[in-house]
């Protein structure tokens, strides 16, 4: 497969590299990125262009020499380099030469004429000194390489003659990683069955990333590939031992980034290593995932409101269900933004739903734009053009006038009356999503719209109790809806003479956390452990069931029915003891102290709200 295909999406980087050929350009260009990201292909294209312009090119692969001054000079001599002559030295696999970096920077470069230029490529970013000394070195260009965009990946596969109906699958596998794309394309063009392409790519990538690591580092890398981010706590939970040195060693790997949230593996590395682990050691993969899940559950229960978003993302990532993962962590990079619609979007939005809806259906969506414009979200492409819409609203924010105008809202209202939620729980509705090119069918716009609703999950957690959705044709979504726990209404309703299908997802008393628990428990082969079990009056504390007295269970159940909301002592007395109870309010305090003792490490979930009563975090 030629460089014309391999270099798709790297035109800007190639142009930046070619600046070193200009008399006034930088003397050194530094290219870095993870294994298989396309460094060598970019160097090949640059070398070809330089030679075509008459420039002398010398290429040194640091993997083939010792990291010493003498070995590097011997490589220059072996290539018949003539001291004093102009040209470009291309240095590849520079991470193998890092030990001699000061020599190359301080001695070799300054000993050569200014018209000898260097292009250096490796997995690691250049040392900070390269930037601080750029003036003395004669100028520096730093080019980090990242994955290709969806458009460039598709163009890559089209040039490689990949069958059009296989492009989406390969893009999901490759995640914009050029080596993944090339391996998948080669396998597909060689007529390998499409279901075998993924395993070939995963095996090759995992081998590349694990190469050169000892057994201990591979053990750490395997574990780190399971969670969304790695903290000392989650690493120790997965490995079952203290990991002070292991955590630091993991952080030193070139494809691991240290962030404010913890350590993060590069996407391509994480995908390849975890897929290999899942395929070759499924039981170990399950054990690591289970250990991480239980640790994060405990962390989530102790988390403050500001950290809920982060821990929910951690829990979602551990769910291996493809429908949940694609909805929350899309495998492809969707080039769309979703935001509240603007006044100037109205014509584009109306044109969109008048194209895909019946006249009555379009009229109903017009009513949403008129009566509840805050619920209408525009989906935009990179140019800012409106290419889709998503209509999302909390139930309590929908005006009664829309219930009269929209048969879908009316049907939801009847369902809510028959199946009321517990006090304190709230309902979210996703009335419609549409894409300009595909309507409601699965697409990048549709995926972006569903991903956007995740923000509402976080905003409403832990109060979110139900989600209503509606589609005209449920067939493309039926497996996902069933797996995620949606229950379809008994019969579709009529909207403009055509059937419209409705469904509801009840998250349960523990809101989003409880929903995730049910999905994860099924995947991990564990029985679901609700926080409170009415059958035996028990509470879950770190996976163990702790028995409660009747009064303790009553108080905790009442607090759980109003998550994060203070409940007064008077209300607790009325709900648990009965309105006829004449005892003092200190009776409640005694039971609360007993509950906290039994909850042990998570006893602080029961907060005292001074002057009011208590609440359950």
Q: How far is CA 576 from the centre of its chain?
A: 43
pLDDT range class, residue 186, cuts 50, 70, 90: low
Find the mean pLDDT for residues 491-503. 94
pLDDT on residue 440: 95
Query: What's the order of all strands across the beta sheet hosting 538-541?
Result: 532-533, 538-541, 544-547
pLDDT range class, residue 194, cuts 50, 70, 90: low
pLDDT on residue 307: 62
For residue 81, what are the contacts with CB-CB under 8 A and spacing of at least 6?
58, 87
pLDDT range class, residue 531, cuts 50, 70, 90: confident
Asked if residue 189 has pLDDT above 50, the reply is no
Q: Which H or E element spans position 503?
A: strand 498-506
pLDDT digits (tens, 9 = 90+) for 28-66: 999 998 776 778 889 999 999 999 988 889 999 887 777
pLDDT range class, residue 383, cuts 50, 70, 90: confident
Task: Name the phi and psi angles at 89, rounded to 5.
Answer: -100, 120
Find the mean pLDDT for residues 444-464. 82
More confident residue, 135 or 4: 135
pLDDT range class, residue 585, cuts 50, 70, 90: low
Question: Residue holding tokens 């996703």?
Answer: 430
Asked if residue 213 has pLDDT above 90, the reply is no
**Per residue in 142-161, is it b (16+ CB within 10 Å) or e — as a string?**
bbebebbebebbbebbeebe
pLDDT on residue 253: 80
Is the separation of the CB atoms in 445 and 436 below 8 Å?
A: yes
Q: How far is CA 424 from CA 278, 385, 461, 510, 564, in A?
A: 40, 39, 11, 12, 9
Q: Which H or E element spans position 465?
A: strand 464-471
% of the chain surpassing 70 pLDDT: 84
Task: Report DSSP state, residue 303.
Answer: -
Q: Which H or E element spans position 231?
A: none
From 157-166, 340-349, 445-454, 482-491, the region with the lowest mean pLDDT: 157-166
Find the mean pLDDT for residues 582-587. 66
pLDDT on residue 583: 56
Beta strands in 256-350 (DSSP E): 256-259, 262-265, 337-340
Token pair listed for 541 = 């504390």
% of the chain surpassing 90 pLDDT: 30
Rounded Cα distance between 594 and 555, Å, is: 11
How many angstroms separate the first and last alpha carbons of the chain? 57
Instruction: Give Rg (Cα) of the chain.
Output: 30
Rounded Cα distance between 118 and 87, Å, is: 9
DSSP string of 347-391, one letter each residue? HHHHHHHHHHS-HHHHHHHHHHHHH-GGGEEEEE-TT--EEEEEE
pLDDT digits (tens, 9 = 90+) for 251-285: 888 678 787 788 988 776 788 888 889 888 999 99
Q: Any bridge partners for residue 501, and if so which?
A: 471
Task: Report DSSP state, residue 147.
Answer: P
More confident residue, 339 or 316: 339
Length in residues, the chain: 617
Task: Report DSSP state, residue 403.
Answer: H
For residue 554, what are the contacts with CB-CB under 8 A and spacing of at least 6?
575, 576
Question: Residue holding tokens 């589609």?
Answer: 471
Q: Is the peptide bond before 81 cis (omega within 30 degrees of 0)?
A: no
Asked if residue 2 has pLDDT above 50, the reply is no
Q: Give the mean pLDDT of the chain.
A: 83
pLDDT range class, residue 83, cuts 50, 70, 90: low
More confident residue, 442 or 335: 442
Contacts of 256-259 with CB under 8 Å at 24 or more apart are: 256/224, 259/229
More confident residue, 89 or 452: 89
Residue 39's region, left for phi above 0, alpha for psi from -120 to 50, else beta, is alpha
Asked if residue 332 has pLDDT above 80, the reply is no
């Amino acid at each position: 497969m030629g460089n014309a295909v391999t270099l798709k999406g790297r035109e800007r980087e190639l142009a930046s590299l070619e600046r070193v050929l200009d008399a006034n350009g930088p003397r050194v260009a530094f290219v870095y990125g993870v294994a298989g990201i396309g460094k060598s292909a970019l160097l090949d294209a640059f070398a070809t262009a330089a030679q075509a312009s008459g420039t002398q090119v010398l290429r040194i692969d640091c993997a083939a020499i010792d990291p010493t001054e003498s070995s590097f000079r011997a490589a220059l001599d072996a290539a018949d380099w003539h001291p004093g002559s102009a040209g470009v030295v291309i240095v590849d696999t520079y991470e193998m030469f890092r030990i001699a970096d000061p020599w190359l920077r301080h001695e070799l470069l300054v000993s050569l004429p200014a018209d000898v230029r260097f292009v250096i490529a490796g997995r690691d970013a250049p040392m900070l000194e390269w930037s601080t000394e750029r003036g003395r070195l004669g100028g520096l260009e730093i080019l980090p390489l990242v994955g290709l965009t969806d458009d460039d990946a598709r163009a890559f596969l089209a040039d490689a003659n990949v069958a059009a109906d296989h492009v989406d699958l390969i893009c999901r596998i490759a995640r914009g990683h050029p080596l993944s794309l090339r391996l998948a394309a080669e396998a597909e063009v060689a007529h390998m069955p499409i279901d075998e392409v993924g395993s070939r790519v995963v095996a090759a990538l995992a081998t590349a990333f694990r190469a050169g690591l000892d057994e201990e580092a591979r053990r750490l890398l395997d574990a780190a590939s399971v969670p969304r981010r790695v903290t000392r706590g989650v690493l120790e939970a997965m490995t079952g031992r203290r990991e002070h040195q292991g955590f630091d060693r993991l952080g030193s790997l070139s494809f691991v980034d240290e962030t404010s949230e913890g350590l993060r593996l590069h996407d391509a590395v994480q995908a390849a290593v975890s897929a290999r682990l899942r395929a070759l050691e499924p039981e170990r993969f399950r054990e690591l995932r289970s250990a991480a899940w239980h640790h994060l559950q405990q962390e989530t229960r102790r988390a403050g409101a500001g950290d809920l978003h982060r821990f929910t993302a951690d829990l979602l990532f551990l769910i291996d269900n493809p429908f949940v993962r694609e909805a929350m962590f899309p495998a492809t990079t969707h080039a769309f933004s979703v935001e509240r619609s603007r006044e100037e979007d109205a014509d584009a939005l109306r044109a969109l739903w008048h194209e895909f809806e019946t006249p009555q259906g379009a009229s109903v969506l017009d009513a949403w734009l008129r009566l509840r414009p805050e619920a209408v979200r525009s989906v935009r492409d990179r140019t800012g053009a409106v290419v889709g819409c998503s209509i999302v609203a909390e139930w309590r924010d929908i005006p009664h006038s829309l219930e009269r105008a929209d048969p879908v809202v009316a049907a939801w209202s009847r369902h809510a009356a028959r199946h009321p939620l517990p006090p304190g729980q709230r309902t979210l509705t996703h009335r419609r999503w549409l894409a300009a090119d595909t309507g409601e069918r699965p697409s990048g716009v549709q995926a972006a719209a569903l991903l956007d609703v995740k923000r509402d999950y976080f905003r409403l957690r832990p109060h979110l109790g139900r989600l209503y959705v509606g589609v005209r044709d449920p067939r493309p979504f039926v497996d996902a809806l069933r797996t995620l726990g949606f229950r379809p209404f008994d019969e579709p309703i009529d909207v403009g003479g055509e059937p419209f299908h409705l469904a509801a997802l009840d998250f349960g008393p523990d809101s989003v956390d409880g929903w995730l628990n049910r999905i994860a428990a099924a995947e991990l082969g564990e029985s679901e452990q609700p926080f409170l079990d009415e059958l035996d009056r028990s509470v879950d504390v770190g996976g163990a069931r702790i028995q409660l007295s009747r009064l303790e269970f009553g108080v905790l159940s009442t607090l759980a029915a109003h998550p994060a909301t203070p409940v007064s002592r008077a209300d607790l007395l009325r709900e648990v003891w009965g309105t006829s109870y004449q005892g003092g309010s200190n009776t409640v305090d005694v039971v609360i102290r007993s509950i906290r003792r039994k909850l042990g490490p998570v006893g602080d979930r029961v907060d005292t709200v001074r002057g009011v009563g208590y609440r359950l975090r």
